[in-house]
Structure 1
């Protein structure tokens, strides 16, 4: 073993540096589901900045330095408070906010979101199944994004009001009727945040024969 380490020390150092980089500095996250449609699609692989909010001891949730505070509108990866699964969603409310939803309309601190640019779309569900969808631009609390609704589905369209604690964040998927987010798993504590998703690295249509989607490569996540 000692001789193997001596003969392959360059490779070992590379693996150690690569492991430190991925667990403490930067990471990538494949998108397996449609919960963030139309912003992120199944088959996208996104770049995640692990130093966006906190510097943590690798492989732990222990923060050694706070670098910045998450803001409404950030797309983030985090560990689910329900079962530890890694998820990617959008922050819609931050510590101290009162958040609620009334018949699909998001409210933060009593301010109702405005929905414009409504347009029909279709949602691919796999195996050739498609559902009619509606896409709209959602504006609230100084941030904006494109969201999607699936009128035929049964979803949790009303909840709250809920006041967030001192280190709690409320997450929603942009695909509002097809997302297991804070409406179901509860608010997410800051220590469970992994990082902020910045850009799409590569993309392939996993629902359509794995055809590459070159137009999505290096696209910023808004």
Structure 2
């Protein structure tokens, strides 16, 4: 009897794990952000929740699309598997298919309309601001002392079914300025919230004020 009960429990545990991994593969998942390329929106060491049903329903454990459920929008924070970098990245969508994007001195222009930068303030070595263009509004930062060449970008047109993505930490992000446009097929989902946050510079102490922060 004890052996039978043990086998039943093992079988149920196995099916439970299969269910969990299936849900994580197709519906929603969480990822650890290993860098500060999305500061101040996402800090290094944060666990973010990703809605995998935001854009596409995929067959579990594959990249095969079963149905298109929605379109990525400007301002969305997305997680994608970059074939160029051979790694998973998290960035913000700036350019939609057909958009003309340019940048001069970290100032964006989209389809001829310059973005507005509000509430500028200094945080350590960074200057942070609210970047606003139409309905898109989010926090971003630049590093004036760094002065990298990617602060400028010639006007480019985003191809069909592809997107231009940038990190919110503009002077410390490997994004479309380096890896090119991101195909929709590489996108895993829409990152919508910080689940938990731990500070790697201070013994991974919890940043409780960041728990549950909307993206």
Mark yes or no: TM-score above 0.5: yes
Deviation at 1:159, TM superposition (A): 1.3
Aligned to 2:116: 114
Describe how 1:34-53 pairs up with structure 2 within 5 A.
34-53=36-55
Residues 75-123 of structure 1: per-residue CA shift (max 9 Å, x gap): 010011313310001001111111111121111111111112110112x
Deviation at 1:141, TM superposition (A): 3.3
Higher mean Cα deviation, 5-14 or 32-41?
5-14
> What's the TM-score, normalizing by structure 2?
0.93
Describe how 1:194-205 pairs up with structure 2 within 5 A.
194-205=188-199
Gaps of 5+ in 1: 123-131
Alignment partners' CA distance in 2, 1:5 and 1:192: 40
Count of matched residue pairs? 210
Gaps of 5+ in 2: none
Alignment partners' CA distance in 2, 1:16 and 1:210: 30
1:139 maps to which of 127, 132, 138: 132
SS in 2 for 1:134: strand
Deviation at 1:6, TM superposition (A): 5.7
SS in 1 for 2:12: helix
Pairwise CA RMSD? 1.5
Aligned to 1:100: 102
- Bigger proportion of residues as helix: 2
Aligned to 2:146: 153
Alignment partners' CA distance in 2, 1:7 and 1:214: 36
SS in 1 for 2:202: coil
Is structure 2 residue 208 aligned with structure 1 residue 220?
no
